[in-house]
Amino acid sequence: MTYTTSNSATDLVSSFQSLDADQQLALFYFVYKEMGNSITPAAPQASTVSPEIAEGLFNQVKEISHEEQLQLQRDLIAKKNTLISREYGALSDTTKLLFWYRLAQGMDDGTIIPMPPDYQLSQQAQTLLGQIQGLEFEQQITFFRDIVSPMGVDPTTAPADKATGL
């Protein structure tokens, strides 16, 4: 496994992507917890975020069981060809980020499957968390966009799947 201790944002993206899906989810949630109040969804007007679209997708996820919610998030990371993956893939990067942010908030209010209380990050994920914390705020945002951007399935380029009809 390639692993680097350098703090360049691109290296951090590769390190993140080399973690398994569960470690990615867990790390992402810990990052959300650390950032806490510094995320202000209302702030940047000029960005390409579509709050209604993020909310619409979030509302679909809210309705399914906790187990299905977890599977859906694993599927996004694995780029599995599902309806939600394709809907997700059609969003702008910033709207993808807002969608993940809504999921993390949902974990805190009980609408989305929570982290198991005793869940431990691997050593590699732990190190990465420290490196992400060391980035400037703007670099962190760029890092997150780079993480969430390739998740899911881009419906404009992915061929139709005969097995699922998608």
DSSP 82: -
Taking the complex as a whole, how short is the minimal distance between the CB of residue 127 and ligand 45D, in angstroms? 17
**Residues 56, 35: Cα–Cα separation, whole Å:** 24
Under the binding rule (CB under 6 A), the answer on residue 64 touching ligand 45D is no
Residue among 2 and 67 whose Cβ is closer to ligand 45D: 67
Give me 34's structure tokens. Answer: 């650390």
* Range 85-124, binding ligand 45D (CB under 6 A): 94, 97-98, 100-101, 103-104, 113, 115-116, 119
Under the binding rule (CB under 6 A), the answer on residue 41 touching ligand 45D is yes
3-class DSSP state for residue 130? helix
Taking the complex as a whole, how short is the minimal distance between the CB of residue 161 and ligand 45D, in angstroms? 25
Give me 87's structure tokens. Answer: 């809907």
36: left (phi over 0), alpha (psi -120 to 50) or beta: left
Element at 104 (helix H, strand E):
helix 93-109
Under the binding rule (CB under 6 A), the answer on residue 56 touching ligand 45D is no
**Residues 162, 103: Cα–Cα separation, whole Å:** 30
| 12, 13, 19, 25: residue in contact with ligand 45D (rule CB under 6 A) | 25
Residue among 20 and 161 whose Cβ is closer to ligand 45D: 20
| 47, 71, 139, 142: residue in contact with ligand 45D (rule CB under 6 A) | 47
The CA-based dihedral angle spanning residues 23, 101, 61, 47, taken in that order and rounded to the nearest 10 degrees: -130
Give me 72's structure tokens. Answer: 């859906």
Under the binding rule (CB under 6 A), the answer on residue 53 touching ligand 45D is no
Contacting positions for ligand 45D (CB under 6 A): 22, 25-26, 28-29, 31-32, 35, 39, 41, 44, 47, 49, 70, 73, 94, 97-98, 100-101, 103-104, 113, 115-116, 119, 141, 144
